[in-house]
C-alpha cells in the first residue's frame, strides 16, 4: 500500500505580487477589508478558487502577517477556505500554531465564516474577527455556510474574541454575485457538483 503522507496549501502565483503592490495601509477595519475583498475578486478573475479572501494582521502595528484565498477546487482540498489558508500561512510564517503567542492578531475575511471556519477561529489564537458579506449574501448565490450554533457570535465573544460584522458588506457581496454570474462551481457535496 502506498500511503499519502503529505499535502500542501499553496497560494496561486498571481498573489504575491498583487499583495506586494497593494497601495493602501491596513490600519482601519475598512482598509483591511478592502484587501480581503480585493483578494476574493482577484481569485475569481484568475479562476483560482472560490470568491473568498482573508488576511491576518497584527492588531496594533497593522503589519500584514499572511493572506489566504479559497483554494478548494484548485488544491482539491475541501478545508482550503480562505480563512483556513490565511490562518495556516500566518502560523507557518510565525512558526507558532498560536497567533496570539506574541501580540494580538486579527482575522479579516471577506465573508462570514462557515461552520468549519467558525470552529477554527478559537484554536487559531486570533484576538478578533471581522467579516464583510454575511450568511444571507453567501446563501443567496448558492453557497452553504453549514450549521453553526445559533449564538455563534456570542460564543466567540465569550472566548475573548472580538467580532465586527458587515464591514464593507456590499462590496464583499458584489464579488459573490459576480462569481455566481460567471457560473463558478459551488463546491460542496450537497450541490451535486463534482469539483
**SS3 state of residue 129:** strand
Nearer to a copy of itself, 47 or 98 (CB): 98
Residue 163 CA to chain centroid, in angstroms? 15
Nearer to a copy of itself, 78 or 164 (CB): 78
Q: Which residues bind a copy of itself (CB under 8 A)?
A: 1, 3-11, 15-16, 19-20, 64, 66-67, 72-73, 75-80, 84, 87-101, 114-120, 122-125, 144, 146-150, 152, 155, 159, 187-190, 194-195
Nearer to a copy of itself, 21 or 183 (CB): 21
Tell the smallest beta-carbon distance from residue 181 to a copy of itself (Å): 23
59 is catalytic: no
What span, in angstroms and rounded, lies between the C-alpha atoms of 15 and 48? Answer: 10
What span, in angstroms and rounded, lies between the C-alpha atoms of 94 and 102? Answer: 9
What span, in angstroms and rounded, lies between the C-alpha atoms of 172 and 31? Answer: 13
Asked if residue 91 lies in contact with residue 64, where contact means CB atoms within 8 angstroms, the answer is no
Tell the smallest beta-carbon distance from residue 170 to a copy of itself (Å): 27
What span, in angstroms and rounded, lies between the C-alpha atoms of 85 and 80? Answer: 6
Angle at the Cα of 48 from the Cα atoms of 134 and 127, rounded to 5 degrees:
45
Grid cell, residue 137, equals 449574501
Tell the smallest beta-carbon distance from residue 138 to a copy of itself (Å): 13
106 strand-pairing partners:
57, 128
Tell the smallest beta-carbon distance from residue 153 to a copy of itself (Å): 11
Nearer to a copy of itself, 151 or 170 (CB): 151
Nearer to a copy of itself, 97 or 170 (CB): 97
Tell the smallest beta-carbon distance from residue 152 to a copy of itself (Å): 7
Q: Which of 8, 30, 83, 183 is catalytic?
A: 83
How many alpha carbons lie under 13 Å from residue 60 in its C-beta half-sphere? 4
**SS3 state of residue 57:** strand
What residues are labeled active site? 83
Amino acid at each position: 500500500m502506498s500511503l499519502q503522507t503529505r499535502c500542501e496549501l499553496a497560494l496561486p502565483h498571481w498573489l504575491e505580487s498583487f499583495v506586494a503592490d497593494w497601495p493602501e495601509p491596513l490600519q482601519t477595519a475598512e482598509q483591511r477589508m478592502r484587501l480581503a475583498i480585493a483578494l476574493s475578486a482577484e481569485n475569481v478573475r484568475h479562476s483560482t478558487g472560490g470568491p473568498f479572501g482573508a488576511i491576518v494582521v497584527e492588531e496594533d502595528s497593522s503589519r500584514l502577517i499572511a493572506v489566504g484565498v479559497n483554494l478548494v477546487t484548485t488544491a482539491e482540498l475541501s478545508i482550503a477556505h480562505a480563512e483556513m489558508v490565511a490562518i495556516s500561512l500566518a502560523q507557518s510564517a510565525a512558526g507558532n500554531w498560536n497567533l496570539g503567542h506574541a501580540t494580538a492578531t486579527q482575522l479579516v475575511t471577506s465573508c462570514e465564516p462557515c461552520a468549519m471556519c467558525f470552529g477554527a477561529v478559537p484554536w487559531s489564537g486570533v484576538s478578533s474577527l471581522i467579516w464583510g458579506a454575511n450568511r444571507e449574501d453567501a446563501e443567496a448565490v448558492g453557497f452553504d455556510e453549514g450549521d453553526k450554533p445559533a449564538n455563534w457570535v456570542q460564543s466567540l465573544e465569550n472566548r475573548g474574541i472580538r467580532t465586527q460584522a458587515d464591514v464593507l458588506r456590499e462590496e464583499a457581496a458584489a464579488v459573490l454575485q459576480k462569481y455566481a454570474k460567471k457560473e463558478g462551481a459551488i463546491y460542496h457535496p450537497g450541490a451535486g457538483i463534482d469539483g
